[in-house]
Amino acid sequence: MSSTGELSLPPPKTWDAFEAILLSAARIRWASAEFFRHGRQGPRMDGVDVYGSDAKGRMIGIQGQHSMGGVPEDLIKEEVARGESVVPALHQLFLATTVKRDTSLQQAMRLLSRHRTADRKFGVDILFWEDIVRELAKDEAVLRSHYPEIKPAAAAPAAAPPPPAPNDAALFGQFLALLPPDGAIAVLDRTNMAGASFPRSTLDPLTVFLRDWNRRDRVFADAEIEAAKQLLWEKVKEYLQVVAGETVLDKASVSVPEAWEKDQPERFWRVSQRLNRLAEELVERQGTLMQVAGRKLG
């Protein structure tokens, strides 16, 4: 949406359209849907064209003046007197006009409001056409509902992504050499640890990844790639900790022994299910890293 200083709109030609604009502007200004037109919804409210409550529950009234001929003092007094009849009592009355901003009129309204609030009566203020347009401009959809001839703001062309850091492509090549998609993690995922086993050498790439890929010289310059790598590193660490503490490792293989199913059934199912779940999570995090790096590095 263009800035309000650049937006110049003609006042509507009919009173009904002006009231509708006042209602929309009020709901935007006070961030409340609890504003209504006089006599259209809710009880009839003599003395205002739009009424409602702000976030603190204070009653706000708006009296419109669709005129290009100025706002005479007698008219202000008349509208304020009419506002006294509103029930429940107003906290603030706004005179909304299609005339341009007038500093002398603003000053007069401020003085009148000061005297009234000192007497514990509702305050008064004025909304000029520029003020009303400024509120409408905060919501493009609402603005266009009243002025359909306004075209949607053209979307700015998407900025080209910055080129990858020179070292990231080479670093990711090293990662793929160590943990290719069909490598160690895929083997772990295909192995059902409920009684099965896998070669102990399968863990070697994960051990190297855990040992070396948290060093400063293995940090990706791209923050999103690095974040995905760190998530995978943390899951590899968790997997290897479970293997070290909860399985039987010999020189050739890693297993959750079948004998545990009979002798230690709770441990057997707890450990095997946890390893199976961790293997799935390793695959997911490796896949995420592959997708992010593919998007960023081409």
Residues 6-49 pLDDT 10s: 568 899 888 889 999 999 999 999 998 889 887 644 444 567 88
Token look-up 């039987």 returns 248
**Cα separation, 60 vs 54, whole angstroms:** 7
- 248-249 and 123-127 strand pairing: unpaired
What class, spelled out in words, does domain 4-146 have in CATH? Answer: alpha beta
- Nearest C-alpha neighbor of 276 from the set 205, 210, 194: 194
- Nearest C-alpha neighbor of 134 from the set 14, 9, 259, 37: 9
**Cα separation, 195 vs 259, whole angstroms:** 9
**Cα separation, 7 vs 235, whole angstroms:** 54
**Cα separation, 92 vs 94, whole angstroms:** 7
pLDDT of residue 2: 44
Report CA 72 to chain centroid distance, whole Å. 46
Residues 171-210 pLDDT 10s: 999 999 999 999 999 999 999 998 788 999 999 999 999 9
Q: What is the mean pLDDT of the chain?
A: 87
**Cα separation, 206 vs 292, whole angstroms:** 20
Spans of the chain, pLDDT less than 70 = 1-7, 39-46, 68-69, 152-156, 158-166
- Nearest C-alpha neighbor of 282 from the set 252, 226, 240: 240
pLDDT of residue 87: 84
245: its two tokens = 């503490």
- Nearest C-alpha neighbor of 275 from the set 194, 181, 159: 194
Report CA 295 to chain centroid distance, whole Å. 24
Contacts of residue 289, Cβ cutoff 8 Å, sequence gap at least 6: 175, 225, 228, 229, 231, 232
pLDDT of residue 184: 94
68: its two tokens = 């290009």
**How many C-beta atoms surround the C-beta of residue 191 within 10 A?**
18
CA-angle at 130, arms to 126 and 134, nearest 5°: 105
pLDDT of residue 42: 41
Report CA 77 to chain centroid distance, whole Å. 46
**Cα separation, 72 vs 21, whole angstroms:** 23
Report the length, in residues, of the chain: 298
Domain boundaries, the chain: 4-146, 166-297
Give percent of the chain above pLDDT 70.
89
